């Protein structure tokens, strides 16, 4: 995809087959070469931007509800140029990948300048480009440019542990001695990387992080080689570097951008059965690492929890997550061997997730990194099925062993993603540590430790409640005691059929809810087939006619106070043959579907030949 800088937006296409999309639990757009590659993430039909790269904040959008997972990128910049990947996953495993290369070219015309200088500049630049081997801009008599013409972004890939990398920029222009050559990192707060002025390097003008690590060839103006060498490159150096040449009056003469990417190990998948004694998270890199590096393993699925830290050759586990204490180990002398693999003992279902190992130098810069996706399989989990709309369901867990009073009982959604469902600790429920999605909807028996019944009641069921629920019991030292998994499947309710003749004054599309709702839910009746239309909206205790499709205005009605009475039926008046179709009532809150009902309406004419096809 190609676009000019300054465009309102650009669409990165990603269309997946319906059979693939129906299996997917998440879809993510990643960008190659970035330490945090996440551009946009959808989990179970909802955006999850908590881990989004800051460069894309408030600039991305995509639909998570259909097989069209194309990404809209607003206000594209030259630094956005690069390779993007749309990845469709099912419970952590890749189902499909779509790669898109984006090219963003700069175009900033001087609107007050007459047209003929632009035409002349364009012709001269074209001729110069044909003659130049590097394909970058040339200086037009070194006078002020009335047009900042198109330049290409070049990609440079460097392997880990290289001593240096060259960011190339060669030109054919004859540059005067009083120009300023400035290399900046344009994707990182416009950091000054290198400044060449008055025919020499200006180290005092560059950012502290790059001092002593950058250089240009001798006499770059004479040789016309403005390339920059970056020494001791590390992973945090990834980004877009822009070299700009200014004349003595500060007018731009030349410019080129170079994207620096690091080749890091690919994400590896590791699968293990529950109750195995150990599992290894593999990572082998170059041997004889410096003694002052820090090796850090973290779990990004558990709020980036610290799993294991090796600092100056010694374990440093003061901030290790309690759940991992006494369960992690590395091989002997890992810095010498280069084997940074981590052993995890007694893997639990709740250990499933993405583990990241990062190596930092003494200054805190990332040298290399690897991700390992761990999947811990449940052994014959119990299955519970319930129909969407039922008031509650019991996830059963009864034990015979006697438990101490200071244990923690933790119910967690482990598939398709990790969420805290319910926590019982210190003799009481701990709702403050619950995920917002489950607040007010879970309950355990009184004094569960005494009667050995750790079962969980889940109320006000949603379709999104389907998944694997795991109850884990820990002692006061966070050591694992016992665990059980229950797979919950929330099924769609049966579809109801309503038939009526065109001559009748109205029809009722029935929907009797199983429980009453809070005032902060939204009720939407929609026509979903043969086309999509908004039929009726009830929100904040009132009908919202301005949100209806024009075709239904003045023709729909709901009973008074439907949330309290639990009668969400819709009255449709002034019937027409074209009203035949599939109607869906959806109750949602905070982006989650709480309940829904499907009604098929058939509006018949006066004779059989008038019957429409639904």
Same-domain check for residues 246 and 115? yes
Q: How confident is the model at residue 188 (pLDDT cuts 50, 70, 90)?
A: low
pLDDT number for residue 187:
63
Whether the pLDDT of residue 147 is over 70: the answer is: no
How confident is the model over 421-459, as pLDDT tens digits?
999 987 888 877 788 889 889 999 888 888 889 999 999
Of residues 133 and 67, more confidently modeled: 67
The stretch 249-258 carries a mean pLDDT of: 87
Number of domains within the chain = 5
The stretch 494-521 carries a mean pLDDT of: 85
**Closest to 33 (Cα-Cα) out of 186, 238, 185:** 238
In this structure, are residues 488 and 412 in contact, taking their beta carbons and an 8 Å threshold?
Answer: no
Same-domain check for residues 453 and 318? no
Whether the pLDDT of residue 140 is over 70: the answer is: no
Same-domain check for residues 120 and 85? no
**What CA–CA distances, in Å, run from 340 to 152, 186, 284, 353, 403?**
39, 33, 6, 19, 37
Strands 153-159 and 252-263: parallel
CB under 8 Å to 403, separation ≥6 — which residues?
A: 449, 452, 473, 481
Quote the mean pLDDT of the chain.
Answer: 83
**Closest to 195 (Cα-Cα) out of 208, 182, 211, 176:** 182
Least confident of 33-37, 292-296, 389-393: 33-37
Least confident of 82-86, 362-366, 512-516: 512-516
Cα–Cα distance, 594 to 459 (Å, whole number): 11
The stretch 512-538 carries a mean pLDDT of: 85
The stretch 169-179 carries a mean pLDDT of: 90
Same-domain check for residues 355 and 397? no
Same-domain check for residues 362 and 312? yes
CATH code, 17: 2.60.40.10
In this structure, are residues 14 and 100 in contact, taking their beta carbons and an 8 Å threshold?
Answer: yes
3-state percent breakdown (helix, strand, coil) of the chain, nearest 5: 15, 45, 40
Cα–Cα distance, 16 to 333 (Å, whole number): 47
Same-domain check for residues 125 and 251? yes
Whether the pLDDT of residue 494 is over 70: the answer is: no
* Residue where a domain stops, chosen among 214, 236, 263: 263
The stretch 92-96 carries a mean pLDDT of: 78
Cα–Cα distance, 314 to 292 (Å, whole number): 10
CB under 8 Å to 361, separation ≥6 — which residues?
A: 234, 290, 292, 293, 367
Same-domain check for residues 158 and 238? yes
Same-domain check for residues 257 and 148? yes
**What CA–CA distances, in Å, run from 245 to 80, 127, 139, 360?**
22, 21, 9, 34
Same-domain check for residues 438 and 534? no
pLDDT number for residue 409:
92
pLDDT number for residue 131:
37
Whether the pLDDT of residue 76 is over 70: the answer is: yes
* Strand locations in 396-434 (E): 408-415, 419-425, 428-429
How confident is the model over 354-372, as pLDDT tens digits?
899 999 998 888 899 999 9
* Residue where a domain stops, chosen among 373, 406, 428: 373
Same-domain check for residues 35 and 124? no
pLDDT number for residue 355:
92
**Closest to 570 (Cα-Cα) out of 591, 589, 588, 556:** 556
Whether the pLDDT of residue 110 is over 50: the answer is: no
**DSSP-derived secondary structure for 241-261:** EEEEEE-TTS-EEEEEEEEEE
Strands 480-491 and 239-246: unpaired
In this structure, are residues 85 and 29 in contact, taking their beta carbons and an 8 Å threshold?
Answer: yes
Same-domain check for residues 215 and 116? yes
In this structure, are residues 25 and 416 in contact, taking their beta carbons and an 8 Å threshold?
Answer: yes
**Closest to 403 (Cα-Cα) out of 314, 295, 471, 476:** 476
Q: How far apart are the first and last CA of the chain?
A: 41
* Segments forming the whole domain that contains residue 482: 382-491
Express as a percent the part of the chain with pLDDT over 70: 88
pLDDT number for residue 418:
79
> Does a cis peptide bond (omega within 30 degrees of 0) precede residue 281?
no
* Residue where a domain stops, chosen among 461, 491, 521: 491
Same-domain check for residues 11 and 144? no
């Amino acid at each position: 995809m190609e676009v000019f800088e300054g465009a309102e937006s650009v669409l990165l296409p990603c269309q997946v087959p319906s059979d693939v999309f129906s299996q997917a639990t998440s879809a993510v757009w990643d960008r190659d070469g970035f330490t945090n590659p996440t551009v946009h993430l959808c989990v179970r039909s909802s955006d999850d931007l908590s881990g989004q790269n800051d460069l894309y904040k408030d600039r991305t959008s995509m639909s998570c509800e259909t097989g069209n997972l194309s990404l809209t990128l607003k206000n594209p910049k030259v630094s956005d140029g690069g390779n993007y990947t749309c990845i469709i996953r099912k419970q952590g495993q890749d189902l499909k990948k779509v790669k898109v290369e984006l090219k963003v070219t700069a175009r900033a015309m001087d609107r007050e300048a007459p047209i003929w200088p632009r035409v002349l500049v364009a012709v001269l630049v074209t001729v110069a480009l044909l003659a130049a081997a590097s394909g970058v801009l040339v200086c037009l008599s070194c006078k002020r440019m009335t047009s900042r013409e198109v330049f290409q972004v070049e990609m440079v890939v460097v392997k880990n542990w290289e001593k240096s990398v060259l960011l190339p920029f060669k030109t054919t222009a004859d540059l005067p001695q009083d120009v300023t050559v400035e290399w900046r990192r344009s994707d990182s707060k416009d950091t000054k990387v290198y400044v060449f002025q008055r025919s020499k390097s200006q180290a005092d003008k560059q950012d502290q992080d790059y001092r002593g690590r950058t250089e240009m060839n001798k006499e770059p103006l004479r040789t016309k080689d403005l390339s920059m060498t970056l020494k001791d490159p590390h992973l945090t150096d990834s980004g877009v570097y822009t070299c700009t040449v200014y004349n003595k009056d500060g007018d731009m003469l030349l410019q080129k951008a170079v994207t620096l990417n690091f080749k890091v190990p690919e994400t590896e998948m590791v699968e293990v059965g529950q109750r195995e004694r150990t599992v290894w998270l593999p990572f082998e890199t170059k041997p004889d690492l410096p003694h002052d590096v820090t090796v850090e393993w973290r779990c990004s699925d558990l709020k980036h929890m610290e799993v294991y830290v090796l600092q100056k050759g010694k374990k440093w586990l003061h901030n290790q997550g309690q759940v991992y204490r006494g369960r992690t180990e590395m091989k002997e002398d890992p810095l010498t061997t280069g084997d940074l693999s981590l052993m995890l003992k007694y893997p639990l279902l709740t250990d499933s997730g993405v583990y990241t190992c990062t190596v930092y130098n003494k200054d805190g810069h990332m040298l290399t990194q690897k991700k390992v996706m761990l999947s811990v399989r449940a052994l014959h989990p119990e299955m519970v099925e319930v129909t969407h709309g039922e008031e509650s369901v019991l996830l059963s867990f009864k034990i015979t062993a006697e438990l101490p009073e200071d244990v923690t009982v933790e119910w967690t959604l482990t598939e398709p993603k990790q969420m805290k469902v319910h926590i019982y600790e210190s003799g009481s429920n701990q709702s403050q540590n619950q995920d917002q999605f489950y607040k007010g909807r879970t309950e355990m028996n009184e004094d569960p430790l005494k009667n050995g019944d750790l079962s969980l009641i889940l109320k006000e069921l949603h379709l999104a409640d389907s998944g694997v629920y795991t109850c884990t019991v820990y002692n006061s030292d966070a050591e694992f005691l016992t665990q059980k998994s229950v797979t919950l499947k929330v099924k769609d309710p049966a579809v109801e059929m309503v038939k009526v003749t065109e001559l009748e004054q109205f029809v009722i599309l029935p929907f009797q809810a199983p429980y009453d709702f809070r005032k902060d839910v939204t009720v939407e009746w929609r026509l979903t087939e043969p086309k999509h239309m908004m039929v009726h909206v009830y929100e904040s205790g009132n009908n919202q006619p301005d949100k209806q499709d024009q075709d239904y205005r003045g023709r729909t009605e709901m009973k008074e106070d439907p949330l309290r009475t639990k009668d969400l039926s819709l009255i449709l008046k002034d019937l027409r043959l074209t009203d035949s179709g599939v109607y869906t009532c959806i109750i949602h809150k905070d982006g989650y579907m709480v309940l829904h009902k499907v009604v098929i309406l058939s509006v018949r004419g006066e004779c059989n030949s008038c019957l429409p096809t639904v």
